Structure 1
Amino acid sequence: MPLSIEKIRQELGIDTRLCVFEISGNVLKVSDEKIMDKLLNRLKQGGSKLKVKLLPDETCGEFRFGVCNVGTASVFKEPSMRSEQVTQAILGETFDTLEIFNDDWVRIRLHFDGYIGWIYRGQVVLMKQEEFSKYSDKVKVQFEKNFGFVREKPNAESTPVRDVVVCSALNVLKAGNNWFMVELPDGKVGWMRKNEVRRFRAIDKRNVNDIIQTAKRFLGVSYLWGGKTPKGFDCSGFVQTVFRINGVRLPRDADMQWGVGDDLGMDFSKFKKGDLLFFSSDGERVTHVGIYLGKDKKVIHSSGFVKINSLDRKSVDYSERLERTFIGAKRVLI
């Protein structure tokens, strides 16, 4: 990207994880209508001949929305399986459609956290406005266990129809004795155990003890860059999912999470369990995050795998690296 365009991006405060801002030929693609006036004025002032295209574009047609149709789908930085995985979408997760490339790849903006990336079209269902509204308005159940299956029949030995991870939400069609009949995004029907799901609803009261217990249930889960499920977590995906299960919406990446909540500084005497601890490998950028456990300077985090470490040199769980790179804490629970 030419320096002048990069300078404009910085001036407008555009985060390319949340807003498309890229040059393709002589066209500048953007996905945030709110910045258009300022952007066009800035380009005019600079004498730029770039054309600006606001996404979604004509490649989407009327299919402006979509739903993830598999247990866990990778969301990539570029439209290629060889590209970096930046995050994931889970079964039933919804998004805006921004662009379609070669009929195989869809650039999406996830509704939960606004994250943007490319997803393989074979793993999603694209919908028109009316179809998406009908889908969204139906009563849903949310999966509560770490992972499991939607089955063909209300029987634990029945053939799996789809795998499913925690927080996945599907339309419920009817209830049997111990099972719910659910509708998958592509219209297929399956069954989920009643004791593995709950009716999808907002959580009114956030309990910090629930946050800690939720975090501990993922101990031992492997680290995965861009991962946000029990199949593999990166550090911020772990934190985001733990809080999501408990009805708290957090941004996707560690530096974004650093930007929310109340600043607590670095004094552990001021911290409470459930606070977020942040770390920086270079002393400038936030590169890691974990959840404070409330005593002995212990933190649960995903590094190699989900584990508990301490910043207390007397602890058997002591991590010199965490103590050395610690930069402060934030409180997101009140």
Structure 2
Amino acid sequence: MRYGICPISIAPLRAEASDKSELVSQVLYGEIFKIIEPRKSWSRIRLAHDKYEGWIDNKQLREIESEDYHSIHQLPKSYCTDLISHVTHEDGSLSTICIGAQISSSAFLGDKFNGEYYDFAEIEKSKIVENSLLFLNTSYLWGGRNPLGIDCSGFTQLVYRLNGHSIPRDASQQANIGEALSFIEESEPGDLAFFDNKEGLITHVGVVMQDNYIIHAHGKIRIDRLDQSGIFNVESNSHTHKLRVIKKII
């Protein structure tokens, strides 16, 4: 088995081995992975933190030894909490990184990080909403996981990750964890609300806020009303998503 790490700010993770292929997710700086199908120009990888798979351009990865992969995986995780920050390379040059970057890996890349990060022992559930508000008005991007473009499940995964809790990548996968609540009134800020389509498939997720509000990715990261029917958009004066279930993840 071969192993790798992302040495750049954001690397596209694609459905197929082509720049024209669908963006299914993104790999952030410092994230490690197994290389499960290496090719000349592309590699199929499996991310360590959520087991998500896809294709990455070989120019955007750095291979590491098995010992380093397992050492990084066992380290206490630290993530950049500035929307935009940077690391300093050994030659003195700088590279931009974004919120959610795994800076506990930076030493293995020979980089130095001087930004902000949290002590997870001090994190409270209310911090999930606080972190969510950092992304307000971020543009929607299918497969995105960063403050310049993000999708609904990438958003919820990232804000939970910033608080030391790893959850799956896709909304349908996230809906399989946690404790289901019977009523909105039972929910707390930081819980996740899931929504389905006409076929009954989970296709959307957002973070529950106080007073029956929700923050979610729909065109952009926005705040809307939440009721027993779903998400009510006051601008369009209509429901945009049908509520399936609210879950207490932590």
TM-score (norm 2): 0.87
Tell me, in whole angstroms, the C-alpha distance in 2 between the residues paired with 1:269 and 1:138. Answer: 38
Distance 1:328 1:79, change over 3 A: same
The corresponding residue for 1:320 is 238
Is the contact made by 2:233 and 2:239 (CA closer than 8 Å) also made in structure 1?
A: no
Q: CA RMSD in A?
A: 2.8
Tell me, in whole angstroms, the C-alpha distance in 2 between the residues paired with 1:210 and 1:169. Answer: 19
The corresponding residue for 1:192 is 113
Distance 1:288 1:215, change over 3 A: same
Whether 1:276 and 2:192 are equivalent positions in the alignment is: yes
Letter in 2 for 1:304: G
Tell me, in whole angstroms, the C-alpha distance in 2 between the residues paired with 1:131 and 1:329. Answer: 39
- Taking the TM superposition and a 5 Å limit, the aligned residue runs for 1:291-310 are 291-295=207-211, 297-310=212-225
The corresponding residue for 2:203 is 287
Whether 1:164 and 2:97 are equivalent positions in the alignment is: yes
Is the contact made by 2:32 and 2:69 (CA closer than 8 Å) also made in structure 1?
A: no
Whether 1:215 and 2:94 are equivalent positions in the alignment is: no
CA offset at residue 245 of structure 1? 0.2
* 1:282 alignment partner, SS class: coil
Tell me, in whole angstroms, the C-alpha distance in 1 between the residues paired with 2:177 and 2:78. Answer: 29
The corresponding residue for 1:86 is 24
Is the contact made by 2:48 and 2:73 (CA closer than 8 Å) also made in structure 1?
A: no
* 2:136 alignment partner, SS class: coil
- Taking the TM superposition and a 5 Å limit, the aligned residue runs for 1:9-158 are 64-101=2-39, 103-133=40-70, 142-151=79-88
Whether 1:255 and 2:176 are equivalent positions in the alignment is: no
Which of the pair has more CA radius of gyration?
1
Residues 243-278 of structure 1 show CA distances to partners (whole Å, capped at 9, x for unaligned) of 10011111100000110100113x222222111111
CA offset at residue 316 of structure 1? 4.4
CA offset at residue 315 of structure 1? 8.4
Tell me, in whole angstroms, the C-alpha distance in 2 between the residues paired with 1:301 and 1:223. Answer: 10
Letter in 1 for 2:176: G
Tell me, in whole angstroms, the C-alpha distance in 2 between the residues paired with 1:247 and 1:141. Answer: 8
Distance 1:131 1:244, change over 3 A: closer
Residues 9-55 of structure 1 show CA distances to partners (whole Å, capped at 9, x for unaligned) of xxxxxxxxxxxxxxxxxxxxxxxxxxxxxxxxxxxxxxxxxxxxxxx
Is the contact made by 2:43 and 2:55 (CA closer than 8 Å) also made in structure 1?
A: yes
Distance 1:205 1:122, change over 3 A: same
* 2:221 alignment partner, SS class: strand
Tell me, in whole angstroms, the C-alpha distance in 1 between the residues paired with 2:232 and 2:16. Answer: 45
Letter in 1 for 2:98: V
- Taking the TM superposition and a 5 Å limit, the aligned residue runs for 1:197-208 are 197-198=116-117, 203-204=120-121, 206-208=123-125
TM-score (norm 1): 0.67
* 2:113 alignment partner, SS class: strand
Tell me, in whole angstroms, the C-alpha distance in 1 between the residues paired with 2:224 and 2:145. Answer: 20
Letter in 1 for 2:222: K
Tell me, in whole angstroms, the C-alpha distance in 2 between the residues paired with 1:145 and 1:69. Answer: 18
Letter in 2 for 1:108: I
Give identity over the alignment, percent: 30
Letter in 1 for 2:22: E
* 1:197 alignment partner, SS class: coil
Q: Which has the higher contact order (CA 8 A, sep 6+)?
A: 2
Is the contact made by 1:309 and 1:318 (CA closer than 8 Å) also made in structure 2?
A: no
CA offset at residue 69 of structure 1? 1.0
Letter in 1 for 2:30: G
Q: How many residues are matched?
A: 247
Please list every run of 5 or more consecutive structure 1 residues that lacks an aligned counterpart in the other structure: 1-55, 57-63, 173-181
The runs of at least 4 consecutive aligned structure 1 residues that moved more than 4 Å come to 133-141, 312-319
* 1:284 alignment partner, SS class: coil
Tell me, in whole angstroms, the C-alpha distance in 2 between the residues paired with 1:240 and 1:281. Answer: 21
